[in-house]
Amino acid sequence: MKLCMQIKKYRKQKNFSQEELAEKVYVSRQTISNWENDRSYPTLESLLILSALFDISLDTLVKGDIDIMKRELSKHDMNLWTRVMLLFLFLGIVVGIPATYIFSYGGLIVAATLLIISLVAAFKVDSIKKDNDLKTYQEILAFDEGRELSSGFKEENRQGYWKMELLLIFGSIIITLILSGIVLLIMRIFY
């Protein structure tokens, strides 16, 4: 059961109005209304006060919402690490090329450091995807939107996924070798 329904159910069992409950939890009546209509989520402190007021355990109060909270945390982490990955990839390219041109090997070290940070963030994103069993774009999109896909849909769309991963790995290696060759060629021309 969702927390919004739990709060409303236990509030009515205790015969509290939204105003009375708000006073006891030290929030506004509008905040209680937002919690009951699933527009916002109580803080941990508020959850503890609510569980004490309703004479129930915190686990009973948030039953069913634990998975939702874990999913939200994973989604937040995935978005954060994706931004870190893209930022350092962008910086590695934008800062790395001029720095390599101006400072030679020192600039190359700066570019490599930025790109390594981007790579670490990419591994973190991949780890989150594995923890949440996300493989296809549809699964990642559904995860980001908080939807569930049927297991049949997952299996149907995962056929041949290993081929795509292998192609991605070899494609990345080839692109890296080509870009490295271009950088070396440019360095030989100017030095």
Same structural domain for residues 96 and 132? Answer: yes
Residue 182 belongs to some domain of the structure: no
Which stretches of the chain are DSSP H helices? 3-13, 18-25, 29-36, 44-53, 58-61, 65-103, 105-131, 137-145, 151-158, 161-190
- Measured on CA atoms in the order 71, 76, 79, 80, is the torsion positive or negative? negative
47: domain CATH number? Answer: 1.10.260.40
Whether pTM > 0.95 for this model: the answer is no
Residue 174 belongs to some domain of the structure: no
Give the best-scoring range by mean pLDDT among 98-107, 110-119, 134-143: 110-119
Residue 16: predicted pLDDT: 94
Contact yes or no for 56/93 (Cβ under 8 A): no
Same structural domain for residues 45 and 112? Answer: no
For residue 78, what are the domain limits?
Answer: 67-159
* φ/ψ of residue 114, rounded to 5: -65, -40
Same structural domain for residues 73 and 146? Answer: yes
Q: For residue 84, give every residue at least 6 positions away whose Cβ sits within 8 Å of its Cβ, in sequence order, or none.
A: 117, 118, 121, 124
Residue 184 belongs to some domain of the structure: no
**pLDDT tens digits, 134-169:** 665 566 666 666 666 665 555 555 566 667 777 878
Same structural domain for residues 72 and 150? Answer: yes
Same structural domain for residues 41 and 87? Answer: no
Same structural domain for residues 75 and 144? Answer: yes
Same structural domain for residues 74 and 153? Answer: yes
Residue 160: predicted pLDDT: 64
Radius of gyration in angstroms for the set of CA atoms belonging to the chain, rounded to a whole number: 25
Residue 189 belongs to some domain of the structure: no
Same structural domain for residues 42 and 86? Answer: no
Q: For residue 4, give every residue at least 6 positions away whose Cβ sits within 8 Å of its Cβ, in sequence order, or none.
A: 35, 36, 37, 38
Residue 114 belongs to some domain of the structure: yes
Q: Which two tokens stand for residue 103?
A: 């400072």
Contact yes or no for 95/111 (Cβ under 8 A): yes
Residue 165 belongs to some domain of the structure: no
Residue 178 belongs to some domain of the structure: no
Q: For residue 101, give every residue at least 6 positions away whose Cβ sits within 8 Å of its Cβ, in sequence order, or none.
A: 107, 186, 190
Same structural domain for residues 154 and 74? Answer: yes
Q: For residue 153, give every residue at least 6 positions away whose Cβ sits within 8 Å of its Cβ, in sequence order, or none.
A: 138
Lowest mean pLDDT among 21-35, 97-111, 141-155: 141-155
Residue 168 belongs to some domain of the structure: no
Distance separating alpha carbons of residues 54 and 125, to the nearest angstrom: 40
Contact yes or no for 62/3 (Cβ under 8 A): yes
Same structural domain for residues 14 and 97? Answer: no
Same structural domain for residues 87 and 131? Answer: yes
Q: Which two tokens stand for residue 90?
A: 């962008």
Please count the structural domains in the chain: 2
Same structural domain for residues 124 and 137? Answer: yes
